[in-house]
């Protein structure tokens, strides 16, 4: 590994790039200056920087803008959104750049949604309304979704194929959803349970790893060229697939177990520490 240098760096966003900071009675997302500098050094050394998140495209472009992330050789930045279901190219620009969707996986979410609602009838559902926000059955708690929330009934929400359905039950726990998915099976659908009672329903075989493989194929790279850093259950496939998969220090045990290495927490600049190992710095 000592002679290896990442040619592509795949970065989760929440809990990896971003940490929550309280101030003046509010909380806001912050990227540490040390991490920003480490990403800049990786880019200057020739690595492709790819954001890979469960967020929608709408919720990822502003992070690219914040980091001033750009594609290599004058090309648009590659971004893996919606846990691998949506892949897009993006131009960072003042006031917001242009999104070009290059690949999208969709599925019929109706059967899985109805099965979940039989167990959690008060759960809230959301699907992305690209460029606007989300269509939701009931508004989500403040700060959990990016953009506008458009209230829509369940049958209209899943009437056409979708790339992802978010299921959220504020009255349940993550463990409740882990148990639910093991009992229901949800045939024809993959799923990811978040930190809370948050469930992403996705097309079978789709993950951050499959999205990054698409990007690698386009760039002439392989998984062995990739350094991936993440902290959530939706990062497990990515960390297992990458040449080097690194879990953040605050990651839960199932994520830490599959990683090649565990770095510091997001509050200890863990992602920066890992990048500095390969691209120099503090």
pLDDT in tens, the chain (282 residues): 458 999 999 999 999 998 776 554 444 577 889 999 999 999 999 999 999 999 888 889 889 988 888 888 778 999 999 999 999 999 887 666 788 999 999 999 898 898 889 888 989 999 988 878 899 999 988 878 888 899 999 999 999 999 999 999 888 888 888 788 777 766 656 677 776 778 888 888 999 999 999 999 999 999 999 999 999 989 999 999 999 999 999 999 999 999 999 999 999 999 999 999 999 986
Shared domain check, 147 and 29: no
Same domain, 272 and 216: yes
Domain co-membership, 210 together with 90: yes
Look up the pTM and report it. 0.89
pLDDT of residue 152: 95
The number of folded domains in the chain is 2
CATH value at residue 257 = 3.40.50.1000
Where in the sequence is the domain holding 138, given as residue range(s)?
Answer: 110-203
Residue 24 shares a structural domain with residue 164: no
Q: Determine, yes or no, domain membership for 187.
A: yes
Are both 249 and 272 inside the same structural domain?
yes
Structural domain includes residue 257: yes
Q: Is there a single domain that holds both residue 140 and residue 193?
A: yes
Give the domain-ending residue among 203, 224, 257.
Answer: 203
Residue 26: predicted pLDDT:
46
Do 255 and 143 reside in the same domain of the chain?
Answer: no
- Tell me, yes or no, whether 142 and 264 share the same domain: no
Is 2 domain-assigned? Answer: no
CA dihedral of 34, 35, 36, 38, whole degrees rounded to 10: 90
The pLDDT of residue 25 is 47
């Amino acid at each position: 590994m000592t002679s290896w240098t990442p040619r592509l760096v795949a970065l989760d966003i929440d809990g990896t790039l971003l940490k929550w900071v309280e101030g003046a009675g509010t909380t806001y997302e912050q990227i540490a200056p040390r991490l920003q500098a480490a990403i800049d050094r990786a880019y200057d050394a020739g690595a492709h920087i790819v954001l890979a998140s469960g967020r929608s495209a709408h919720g990822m472009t502003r992070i690219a803008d914040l980091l001033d992330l750009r594609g290599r050789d004058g090309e648009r930045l590659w971004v893996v959104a919606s846990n691998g279901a949506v892949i897009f190219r993006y131009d960072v620009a003042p006031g917001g750049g242009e999104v070009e969707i290059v690949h999208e996986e969709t599925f019929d979410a109706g059967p899985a949604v109805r099965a979940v609602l039989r167990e959690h009838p008060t759960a809230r559902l959301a699907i992305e309304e690209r460029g606007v926000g989300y269509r939701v059955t009931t508004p989500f708690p403040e700060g959990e979704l990016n953009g506008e929330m458009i209230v829509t009934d369940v049958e209209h929400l899943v009437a056409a194929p979708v790339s992802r359905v978010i299921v959220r039950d504020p009255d349940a726990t993550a463990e409740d959803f882990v148990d639910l998915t093991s009992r229901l099976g949800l045939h024809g659908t993959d799923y990811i349970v978040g930190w809370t009672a948050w469930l992403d329903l996705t097309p079978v075989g789709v993950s951050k790893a499959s999205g990054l493989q698409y990007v690698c194929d386009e760039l002439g790279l392989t998984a062995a060229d990739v350094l991936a850093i993440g902290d959530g259950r939706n990062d497990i496939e990515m960390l297992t697939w990458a040449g080097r998969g690194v879990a953040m220090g605050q990651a839960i045990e199932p994520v830490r177990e599959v990683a090649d290495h565990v770095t510091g927490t997001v509050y200890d600049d863990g992602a920066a520490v890992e990048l500095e190992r390969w691209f120099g710095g503090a």
